[in-house]
């Protein structure tokens, strides 16, 4: 099917520019695209492949070797200098979420290696993506070790397969593009830092832009070929501009004063390591080449910083996602203030620039956004909006979502106002008809909204918690760092006969024992395929950690809720580090509420915890029933992910049936009861609940791992 044209995309200007810069200079390090569902992330990435120039490859080479410079380590080589060549389009390889390590890097036929002594290698997706684009959708859902493989290959330009003494390596240079939905959880900051550029996209906020998106999509679906033909000239111009920029790139000079400015920006912004400095420098060089200039200007540094720095600032991993726009602007202003008077002004104006900081093509560069339309409507040297025509013959309205543009500030301001309204509604609520509390923890009774409660209290500083885990070994459905499970990695604990073709690592001692036990016929092979045994590994898996938190009025007494929130926040941080999914249920008044459906977005959990209020009676049984229903739903959705239930309560139930009667609904679920009871007189009801649930009992004051004095 004809792909959607790159130049037909409405808006998403930062994303389009970032992809084009990566196409010009793959050393920029790839692009990570963050955005809500339905924002055309995948459409834009797939359209990029159509702009890349065709590549010449050695005929019959499965690794797309360049005839002019074949890979000396190519498993299909060595290739003769005069090997026949063919030209083909640049590859676009998509990595599915369920891909295994063997599928990514390739596989070795261990059976043939042991039985026949033949090193047979089947290339994986990294080989298929060589000299093309590797697109990873939902990169935040990939196991960490697969993301590490991808990023290492993208950084080194080579893929390595090391298994049981057999080593294979081949070239793997590709444009790495990942997309993700922040609602499904944030990847580790260490992994995000490995991407060169990170762009956040959002749906258009103007009705006319949204209508234009729908208009073009319907026209494309009605006749893809005719729609693509309408933008053929624009596509050709963009493709030619990529080729031209690649030729200019080696000649682009990065003046020392611009390099010093990059270093000052990174220091002022508070980034770790030197990767940020390198990426900003490479991106600035690519921007200059894209504009047809041979010298990097101050505006190139500004634009590169906006694409390469926002995701690298030191912050708490559980901070709500979002770009600290003002922090970056302050860092840029501070860096520019340190320039010598003879340096270029912030708007550019390098030696190759035209009047008013314009490049050789006459495009202005005064505080422009990445879409070629700055906050003041000026043009930008990296203008790509010229190639985006409306179906009615007019120009498509471009609206940049870059952190430094007006629309970006408006977007952040709108979110901030929405957040403020939510906080005001939370803090302004009254007590319910049962028992509630005022600010100092004293109980009161009124006839207010039964869903309301005391104002939300803040949690304290998170601490390191004791490791809560499921004692039984799982089947290793999801890689992580919490509970023991059989897996493809980890400690070898035994061997087994493989089911069908050997897919894991062979267990050599068990294989040799099987061969010796069978005996070796005269003239036969020492090891036959039927002798093969594969290793059984035990590693760690990620779980669903479901919190059931008591939010009744008694929890506010003696500032107990602050302590409880701090404990839950600490457990959320622990779940983030161990790659778990999390969910949260609270109970107070007469029923329970699922305030956080199971998700990988731990940041959302922190926000919901911060807004949690107290008040009313204690319907503990309702909380347990809601937990049982949630776990049953998640088991149907993902049977391989095991749940770990964490109940935070003092065990006192003042509303509804006896919680012990609900215990059978949670039979077989690994549970930890965190006992919040305090004071000189204790009833021990949390212990009674733990006994009924066959759960571990953890006093709240023992949850923290304290350092030895």
Could you give the 3-state DSSP secondary structure of residue 398? Answer: coil
The region that residue 119 occupies, defined by phi over 0 for left and psi between -120 and 50 for alpha, beta otherwise, is beta
For residue 128, give the nearest of 66, 174, 84 by alpha carbon.
174
- Hey, how many other C-beta atoms are within 10 angstroms of the C-beta on 224? 15
Catalytic residue among 257, 275, 390, 481: 275
- Hey, how many other C-beta atoms are within 10 angstroms of the C-beta on 37? 9
For residue 371, give the nearest of 347, 390, 348, 399 by alpha carbon.
399
Please calculate the CA angle 669-620-467 and round it to the nearest 5 degrees: 45
Give 472-508 as a 3 state SS string. Answer: CCECCCCEEEEEEEEECCCEEEEEECCCCCCCCCECH
What's the CA gap between 484 and 539, in Å, rounded?
A: 6
CA distances from 336 to 257, 302, 649 (A): 10, 10, 54
Q: Which residue has the tokens 């080589």?
A: 77
What's the CA gap between 52 and 34, in Å, rounded?
A: 23
Please calculate the CA angle 461-465-467 and round it to the nearest 5 degrees: 160
Q: Are 288 and 294 in contact (CB under 8 A)?
A: yes
What's the CA gap between 555 and 562, in Å, rounded?
A: 9
What's the CA gap between 89 and 111, in Å, rounded?
A: 35
Active site residue 275: yes
What's the CA gap between 546 and 584, in Å, rounded?
A: 6
β-strand pairing of 133-136 with 175-180: parallel
- Hey, how many other C-beta atoms are within 10 angstroms of the C-beta on 317? 13
Q: Are 675 and 699 in contact (CB under 8 A)?
A: yes
CA distances from 580 to 158, 218, 435, 674 (A): 31, 40, 35, 19
What's the CA gap between 325 and 306, in Å, rounded?
A: 9
Residue 180 gets which letter from DSSP? E
> Angle 325-337/298-308 helices, nearest 10 degrees?
150
The region that residue 422 occupies, defined by phi over 0 for left and psi between -120 and 50 for alpha, beta otherwise, is alpha
Question: Which tokens go with 41?
Answer: 């992330």
| Residue 455 exposed, middle or buried by CB count within 10 Å (0-12, 13-18, 19+) | middle
For residue 271, give the nearest of 193, 346, 343 by alpha carbon.
193
What's the CA gap between 175 and 196, in Å, rounded?
A: 11
Strand ranges (DSSP E) for 589-693?
591-599, 643-649, 670-675
Number of helical H runs and strand E runs in the chain = 20, 22
What's the CA gap between 349 and 376, in Å, rounded?
A: 18
CA distances from 309 to 15, 129, 382, 588 (A): 15, 27, 19, 44
CA distances from 201 to 96, 144, 631 (A): 22, 24, 33
Q: Check whether the bond before 161 is cis (ω within 30° of 0).
A: no
What's the CA gap between 133 and 123, in Å, rounded?
A: 16
CA distances from 196 to 22, 249, 286, 391, 571 (A): 9, 18, 12, 34, 31
**Active-site residue list:** 275
């Amino acid at each position: 099917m004809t792909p959607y044209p790159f130049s037909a995309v409405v808006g998403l200007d930062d994303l389009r520019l970032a992809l084009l810069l990566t196409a010009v200079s793959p050393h920029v390090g790839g692009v990570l695209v963050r955005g809500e569902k339905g924002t055309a992330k995948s459409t834009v990435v797939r359209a990029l492949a159509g702009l890349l120039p065709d590549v010449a490859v050695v005929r019959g080479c499965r690794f797309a070797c360049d005839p002019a410079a074949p890979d000396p380590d190519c498993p299909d080589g060595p290739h003769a200098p005069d090997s026949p060549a063919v030209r083909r389009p640049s590859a676009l390889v998509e990595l599915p979420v369920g891909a295994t390590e063997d599928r990514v890097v390739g596989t070795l036929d261990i059976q043939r290696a042991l039985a026949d002594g033949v090193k047979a290698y089947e290339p994986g997706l990294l080989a298929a993506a060589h000299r093309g684009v590797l697109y990873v959708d939902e990169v935040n859902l990939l196991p960490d070790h697969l993301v590490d493989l991808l990023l290492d290959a993208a950084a080194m330009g080579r893929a390595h397969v090391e298994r049981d003494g057999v080593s294979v390596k081949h070239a793997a240079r590709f444009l790495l593009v990942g997309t993700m939905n922040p609602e499904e959880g944030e990847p580790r900051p260490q992994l995000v830092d490995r991407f060169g550029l990170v762009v956040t996209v959002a749906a258009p906020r103007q009705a006319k832009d949204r209508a234009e998106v729908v208009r073009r999509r319907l026209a494309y679906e009605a006749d893809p070929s005719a729609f693509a033909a309408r933008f053929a000239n624009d596509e050709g111009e963009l493709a030619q501009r990529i080729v031209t920029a690649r030729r200019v790139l080696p000649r682009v000079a990065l003046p020392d004063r611009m390099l010093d400015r990059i270093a000052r920006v990174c220091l002022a912004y508070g980034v770790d390591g030197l990767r940020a400095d390198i990426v900003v420098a490479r991106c600035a060089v690519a921007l200059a080449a894209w504009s047809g200039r041979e010298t990097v200007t101050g505006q190139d540094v500004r634009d590169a910083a906006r694409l390469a720095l926002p995701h690298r600032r030191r912050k708490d991993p559980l901070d709500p996602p979002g770009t600290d726009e003002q922090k970056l602007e302050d860092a840029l202003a501070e860096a520019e203030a340190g320039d010598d008077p003879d340096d270029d002004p912030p708007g550019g104006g390098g030696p190759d620039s035209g009047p008013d900081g314009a490049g050789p093509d006459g495009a202005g560069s005064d505080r422009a956004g990445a879409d070629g339309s700055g906050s003041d409507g000026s043009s930008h040297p990296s203008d790509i909006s010229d190639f985006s025509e409306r179906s009615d013959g007019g120009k498509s309205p471009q609206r940049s979502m870059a952190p430094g543009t007006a629309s970006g500030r408006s977007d952040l301001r709108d979110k901030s106002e929405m957040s403020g309204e939510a906080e005001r509604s939370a803090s302004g609520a009254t007590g319910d008809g049962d028992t509630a509390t005022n600010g100092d923890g004293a109980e009161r009774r009124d006839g207010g909204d039964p869903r309301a409660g005391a104002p939300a209290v803040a949690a304290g500083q998170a601490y390191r918690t004791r490791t809560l885990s499921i004692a039984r070994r799982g089947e290793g459905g999801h890689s992580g760092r919490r509970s023991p499970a059989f897996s493809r990695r980890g400690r070898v604990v035994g061997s087994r006969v493989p089911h069908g073709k050997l897919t894991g690592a062979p267990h050599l001692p068990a294989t040799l024992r099987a061969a010796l036990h069978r005996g070796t016929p005269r003239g036969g092979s020492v090891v036959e395929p039927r002798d093969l045994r594969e290793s059984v590994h035990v590693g760690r898996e990620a779980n669903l950690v479901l919190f059931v938190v008591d939010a009744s009025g008694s929890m506010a007494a003696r500032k107990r809720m602050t302590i409880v929130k701090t404990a839950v926040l600490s457990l959320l941080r622990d779940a983030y580090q161990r790659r778990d999914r999390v969910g949260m249920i609270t109970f107070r008044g007469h029923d329970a509420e699922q305030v956080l459906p199971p998700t990988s977005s731990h940041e959302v959990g922190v926000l919901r915890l911060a807004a949690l209020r107290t008040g009313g009676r204690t319907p503990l049984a309702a909380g347990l029933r809601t937990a049982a229903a949630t776990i049953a739903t998640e088991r149907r959705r993902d049977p391989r992910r095991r749940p770990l239930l964490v109940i935070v309560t003092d065990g006192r139930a003042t509303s509804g049936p006896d919680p012990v009667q609900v215990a059978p609904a949670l039979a077989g679920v690994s549970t930890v009861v965190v006992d919040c009871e305090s004071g000189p007189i204790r009833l021990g009801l949390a212990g009674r609940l733990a006994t009924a649930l066959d759960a571990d009992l953890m006093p709240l004051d023992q949850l923290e791992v304290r350092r030895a004095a």
